[in-house]
Structure 1
Amino acid sequence: MNSPMHVEKAGTPGGEARIHWHPAPRPRLVLALGHGAGGGIEARDLTALAAALPEAGVSVALVEQPWRVAGRKVAPAPRTLDEAWCALWPALAAPGLPVVAGGRSAGARVACRTAAGLGAHGVLALSFPLHPPGRPERSRAEELVSAGVPTLVVQGARDPFGRPEEFPSRVELVPVPGGDHGFAVPKRSEVGQEEALAVITDAARSWLAGL
């Protein structure tokens, strides 16, 4: 039986952040996940991972950036997001376990940019925004491949911010059939919504087990 979820407050230069801990009964590592610029930790992929991974020995920490905690609707500049993430990292590392950084969309970018400097053991990039929709020439591939640690990308097959086939071949990637940027799948998709989420949680569980 999993330990109860609890919330920890963490101070950052941009204000108070919140860490929603989903502890594993016998943890071997921590997976810290940040949210995107258009939503919070209630995203379907983040909640699915928080529900599924503790039984596999992974304590999941869903991180609310200060701008969300303060109720603002627009995310600040990338540097501000990075500063907050770095400031709360000691709280994520406090259990004394290896910490894998990650997140969805903008949160994945934060994890990639800061992983090496923080000593993260890997990066789990969900819905990595490879480029703005319709602007493939504005690629952020370098940000992804320069993370400096083992990295797994989980990407929806219909993601307008970058379909799986657009990523560099050297990137380890798991496609989610029918998934859009939020991993929502059409009603007539080849897989249902629960199956799509299972692709995400199974991929993460397997990859983390190999770290």
Structure 2
Amino acid sequence: MGSFEVIEHEKDPKGEQGKFRIIAINFVDPEFVKIDAETDVDKGTLLDVQDGKAFLNKKLIGRVVEKKDGKSIRVSTSFDIKYTGGYSLDGKTVYLDEHFPQIMKIDGKEVDARESIGLHHELPEKWLSDEAYEYPYAHEMATGIEKKYVESLGVKWKDYCDEVDRNLRNVYSRKLEKSPSSLDLAPYLYCRDQEALKEIRRSTTK
């Protein structure tokens, strides 16, 4: 499966002595794994995951108990999405506003927003939200994953953010006309963004 960066670790939720629960993400593909481990590791540690087993410096430390990836995820660009990106309640679809450019040209390179925003931000954010992490934390972690993906393309993060912000202004200036009925409203509810919620509900397609 490849190299995974630890983004969360804790003592085993079941209370087993000497056991730890680790969440790690491969930001390139992207992939998510939940690992039951006998060794605690710090955030930022890189683990090698192969055949359902997790290794640290070639030493077996645990086994994968859950895995998610973006291979079967659909990226939809057919709707208006408040604040540009979102995801469905079931996590099988990520949304990118139809008015946001799918391909951004940055310093001579092309960045596919369906990958950078859709699969490397919105999708990991949904994965973490489904693990009961609060929205601000999930959003912060997802932004870090998006950043690492963008930089892996040889694009400077600041240049990328400048281009994204330029396009966001165009999206934000538009009134929603067709929001997807399956859109997960959790981020808007957490932020108590009543105006956004009203606009989304008013424009939701049947």
TM-score of the superposition, structure 1-length normalised?
Answer: 0.33
- Point out the structure with the larger strand share: 2
- Greater radius of gyration (CA): 2
TM-score of the superposition, structure 2-length normalised?
Answer: 0.33
